[in-house]
Chain A
Amino acid sequence: SQKIEQNSEALNIQEGKTATLTCNYTNYSPAYLQWYRQDPGRGPVFLLLIRENEKEKRKERLKVTFDTTLKQSLFHITASQPADSATYLCASKRVDSSYKLIFGSGTRLLVRP
């Protein structure tokens, strides 16, 4: 069955370093992946969408890559700041319906000052 997986362990890094979060998918080939940020007790906020024919996409300090060979997307935050601390979710279209998304469980990022 379709799976989208993120590392459940929190990522703890020093301010100024680059944070790299991973999203792996199995048993399907998504046409695109979305990345969201979620702060505690709040709804997710959309960050970036990358299509399978795009190797990389950037937005300010954010960069997303999509490797269809490795079945993986990497989400990078450069020059990380304590304000970047949050949970980051990846999502893709469901194989059983073009109208539904499947979400990973998210990876929590902690940026130490």
Chain B
Amino acid sequence: DGGITQSPKYLFRKEGQNVTLSCEQNLNHDAMYWYRQDPGQGLRLIYYSQIVNDFQKGDIAEGYSVSREKKESFPLTVTSAQKNPTAFYLCASSIKGGGSYEQYFGPGTRLTVT
């Protein structure tokens, strides 16, 4: 089955710890994205990548880091510098970068930091 997988579904961490969220796609898509979703708010873009070995900051990149070493993988690290990391994190991909292309979303990872 083609699609996007994110793991784990739920993640709990203590404050001050870095944590890495996994995102893998087998759709052969060039572009990948990370969003954060908080209750009552729209999706906010953290980072995006149009091609392997290249990525750009989104609107709320502070406290986050990414890598794109393989086309299929776009992991997100939530660092201890992120002031309010508890949220629902969504990874997405599209055939190419560009708003005219539909985005395919993973199931999400709910991160709780205490």
Residue A92 interfacial (CB < 8 Å): yes
CB pair A105–B99 under 8 Å, yes or no, is: no
Chain B: minimal CB distance from A3 (Å) = 11
Identify which of A31, A42, A100, A105 contacts B40 (C-beta below 8 A).
Answer: A105
Chain B: minimal CB distance from A67 (Å) = 20
CB pair B108–A31 under 8 Å, yes or no, is: no
CB pair B108–A42 under 8 Å, yes or no, is: yes
CB pair A8–B40 under 8 Å, yes or no, is: yes
The total of chain A residues at the interface (CB under 8 A) is 26
Whole-angstrom CA separation of A8 from B4 in the bound complex: 29
Identify which of B31, B48, B102, B108 contacts A41 (C-beta below 8 A).
Answer: B108
Whole-angstrom CA separation of A93 from B43 in the bound complex: 13
Considering only CB atoms, which chain A residue lies closest to B96 in the complex? A99
CB contacts (< 8 Å) of A49 on chain B: these are 100, 102
CB pair B42–A100 under 8 Å, yes or no, is: no
CB contacts (< 8 Å) of B19 on chain A: these are none
The total of chain B residues at the interface (CB under 8 A) is 26
CB pair B58–A100 under 8 Å, yes or no, is: yes
Considering only CB atoms, which chain A residue lies closest to B40 in the complex? A105
CB pair A43–B58 under 8 Å, yes or no, is: no
CB pair A46–B104 under 8 Å, yes or no, is: yes
CB pair A92–B110 under 8 Å, yes or no, is: no
Chain A: minimal CB distance from B2 (Å) = 14
CB contacts (< 8 Å) of A34 on chain B: these are 99, 102
CB pair A94–B99 under 8 Å, yes or no, is: yes
**Which residues on B are within 8 Å of A, measured CB to CB?**
4, 31, 40-43, 45, 48, 50, 56, 58, 88, 90, 92, 97-100, 102-108, 110
